[in-house]
Amino acid sequence: MGARTMEQTMRRSTLDAAAVARVVHEALAEDVGSGDLTTNALFPPHARARARLLVKEPGVVCGLPVAEAVFRALDPEVRFEAVVGEGDHLRRADRVAVVEGSARAVLSGERTALNLLGRLSGVATMARAFVDAVAGTGATILDTRKTTPGLRVLEKYATSVGGATNHRRGLHDGVLVKDNHLALSGDVRTVVELLRRVPGGHPVEVEVESLEEVRAALDAAADALLLDNMSPGAMREAVVLAGSRATLEASGGVSLANVRAVAETGVGYISVGALTHAARSVDVSLEVL
């Protein structure tokens, strides 16, 4: 194996304050722009408002600190009280937070806060569903780079809140040889040898699509194999072939309907793009009290 194992490159995210500030700044610039024409005309700067944030359907709550950051960017003195915990699974529609401060801040920040809260809760809810689906199999659910541009850090935080594990944050922190790399650069043995020289001791993972490619990657001493769109039967054979020589990650076409069957092949990891690219935002709302 390389200086670092594949497991050591994985992690659970914590919320990055700088990333939150960047996203909130850009989102408010997009939505509020030079000012909320309606709200600013109706309410003077000293007007106050108190409101509750509601999740209107079952799901995993995620993004409360992000919603708070939206309101606080518009009114640094705003009071934001979360009444449920980040990652709590609500079985029914329920109040999740109360916000109190400038009426202008509450009303102007409403849509941005709800968009982010709903999106992150949707990603966390999807992640929890996949994690629950493979419970007891020993397989770990991984997220991917199939994220919304500009929101990757927050969406990977949301998959963590849902119980999944972060894989590569970007091209800068992991080595993965895809089919197009091999098409341009030659045979897998040469590629693996070249990538051993990359600073940082990154484990070398190679994408394979057949048992013949599995054998070739194992013979080249790859640390990990990404089994791309392979059948459950082929995955089982790959598990036997690999033994303890390489970590196996299944990928491609994974859904809630088949993820448990994939896990039961014996692969250690299953990467699921749907955690982010197919997650539906949870329905959330804000009601003035």
For helices 211-219 and 232-242, what crossing angle results, to 10°?
20
Pairing verdict, β 175-177 and 140-142 = unpaired
Q: How far apart are the C-alpha atoms of 179 and 162, rounded to whole Å?
A: 31
Q: Are 155 and 164 in contact (CB under 8 A)?
A: no
What single-letter amino acid sits at 165?
A: T
**Active-site annotation, residues:** 111, 146, 178, 207, 228
Q: How far apart are the C-alpha atoms of 272 and 146, rounded to whole Å?
A: 9
Phi, psi of 267 (to 5 degrees): -65, 150
- Which of 230, 220, 279 has its CA nearest to residue 250? 230
Q: How far apart are the C-alpha atoms of 154 and 53, rounded to whole Å?
A: 20
Q: How far apart are the C-alpha atoms of 117 and 53, rounded to whole Å?
A: 10
